[in-house]
Amino acid sequence: MKHPFDVHVGVRLCLCRRSAGMTRQELGARIGVDAREIREFERGEDRIDAGLLRHVAVVTGVSPAFFFDGLACALGDAA
């Protein structure tokens, strides 16, 4: 079962990737994972670790905090 935290971070990951004009393949190549893993992160099916998330932030030009914006509202009672 997907956790609301992973779904929220995944949505934010997809948003920053698209804003940076990157495909899943391009982002994956830049951070050392395959496009399938990027897809699973974006769908909230897999949890991305903090180090990899920081790497995504650097590559896409966002602050690591970007991934957590709005998280409290997204989690509601599931926190």
Walk me through the domains of the chain, giving residue ranges and CATH numbers.
4-74 (1.10.260.40)
Band the pLDDT of 77: cuts 50, 70, 90.
low
What integer pLDDT is reported at residue 18 of this predicted model?
98
Q: Residue 72: is its pLDDT beyond 80? A: no
What integer pLDDT is reported at residue 40 of this predicted model?
98
Task: Let me know: does 13 contact 67? Beta carbons within 8 Å.
Answer: yes
pTM: 0.88
Residues 20-69 have pLDDT tens digits of 999 999 999 999 999 999 999 999 999 999 999 999 999 999 999 999 98
Cα three-residue angle 60-6-31, rounded to 5 degrees: 30
In our burial notation (b when 16+ CB lie closer than 10 A, e otherwise), range 59-68 reads bbebeeebbe
